[in-house]
Structure 1
């Protein structure tokens, strides 16, 4: 019999690529998503497969899955500022109640569970590059705290279930990831820049552009996550690309990539926006034998080609049109 894996956030950017990977590895995949920020288009190619099933469900409510489970990947959460600042309560609930429900399911099914944590647990870091033993510099009551603290709590309860109940757990600290299926207007750097370039708008850089990010192509990210799940390591592991670049220099790369003549417009930096973001991946190299293979130039070319293929309707769509109708007060 095929091994069975539950993937929450399955209709999202990263979740959908994980579904593809586990289908490729001959698992029976159960996808789950409440479609607040996910899109069924990302997984519609899987619906015809017998080894894939999908449940439209909010994991903040009780989660039931019939039959056995070998693995659970908890990737359900708004992941971009434009999302979690718009739906802060849902963001906190999926990181707390949702994680609690899925850890309980893992305990019941005797399944191994991996949770998607984030580099945002480091906040605006005072240590650079960020290592897994750095505790972070997070504003708990700032606007970004709804995401940062949800993820920090998620890590804490995951380790508690491991220590107290003996649940097999894995924690992935995911750094900026990009590639096809990102939402064009989700507020993150890459889709924001490419969307502006394709629409002929000036590129918006916040602050003076000296803040840095490190971008990992989705195929590399999925490989690192897959290896972490199957490893024997229970503490957090950074999964990201250490190739760091300033946002201003990255904007210039986008202008060159898109062969456009847009200007760069500076706007005030949002509150608590981290000034530096670069993973130390020594642990991933040692434990998982993993490091990124796809260069930023190669990955960005694939990503740009994907966005160019979108329709004009998608290109000019309102930032919140996709999920407003799903939000419940």
Structure 2
């Protein structure tokens, strides 16, 4: 039975990965300090009392001890939404730097294959469109978003250093905007905030004029891409995202129609360094992993709405960052 450690395993993406790897026959060690993770995301795994699942509460910026062998280490620990990393800037930088260093050290000691969860944010506010993995990015290192962008850029650099210097088998996934069940309704990203506001009948808050674009992918597609990348021989970074690009204003209107809400749209000032475009070039994933998104946005949003209908308290308030 392969043995896999997933840091950040109680988060939105991490919990879906725990499910997938258990389904693939792995023993899964889920590590999280719960600073942004949620035990509810993995409660069903506790309820099953499955001996293949173990939860370890630990801050990965400190030394990581895991007894026994490990085959794979997936490093997903990090605040990942603007509302989180702007509130937790030091913790975000530490988990990207110290946390990645500790996770790589563990992978080296255990002779395990290591996969880093990177992000499309390494491209910053891009000057090429769509974004290919060969693009070096346009990031403001001292801007408010720099704590996340540069943490991930450093994480990629140290990952490749461990690959080249220590011979650690490494994989890097650059994740584009992902949505689905288990997203926190208050995490500040566009989809959970729009859905929450629409279900409550509140105005949907769009920053700027809403012409900035994003490319949204359903979580099952991302998990499939990550699994294929981990099991492949591809050491270069790989974009995993859905190239179906849409403006934030159009996306807000789509959510209003989907929910049948009477909500209107309000506009506020665009945050500093907010990317104007975001669309993955997935040629590398198609050619090297035989991967492409399978769930279109209409189907994915319908699945996600079912979750939000049960999760959104009508008395909540929310704000949005794209």
Alignment TM-score, normalising by the size of structure 2:
0.97
The within-5 A match list for 1:1-329 is 2-47=1-46, 48-310=49-311, 312=313, 316-317=315-316
Shift of 1:318: 6.7
Shift of 1:56: 0.5
Shift of 1:317: 4.8
Shift of 1:199: 1.4
Partner SS state of residue 43, structure 1: helix
- Quick check: 2:199–2:312 contact (8 Å CA) kept in 1? no
Cα offsets for 1:216-252 (capped at 9, x unmatched): 0000000000000000011100000000000011111
Partner SS state of residue 100, structure 1: helix
Instruction: Give RMSD over aligned pairs.
Output: 1.1
Cα offsets for 1:33-52 (capped at 9, x unmatched): 00000000000111211100
Partner SS state of residue 286, structure 1: helix
Cα offsets for 1:78-126 (capped at 9, x unmatched): 0000000000000000000000001000000000000000000000000
- Quick check: 2:31–2:57 contact (8 Å CA) kept in 1? yes
Cα offsets for 1:106-153 (capped at 9, x unmatched): 000000000000000000000000000000000000000000000000
Shift of 1:179: 0.1
Partners of 1:178 and 1:59 in 2: CA distance: 25
Partner SS state of residue 30, structure 1: strand
- Quick check: 2:179–2:191 contact (8 Å CA) kept in 1? yes
Partner SS state of residue 5, structure 1: strand
Partners of 1:144 and 1:227 in 2: CA distance: 30
Change (3 A) 1:269 1:295: same
Shift of 1:4: 0.1
Partners of 1:61 and 1:233 in 2: CA distance: 29
Count of residues in Structure 1 that have an aligned counterpart in Structure 2: 317
Change (3 A) 1:229 1:316: farther
Partner SS state of residue 19, structure 2: helix
Shift of 1:309: 1.2
Gaps of 5+ in 2: none
Alignment TM-score, normalising by the size of structure 1:
0.95
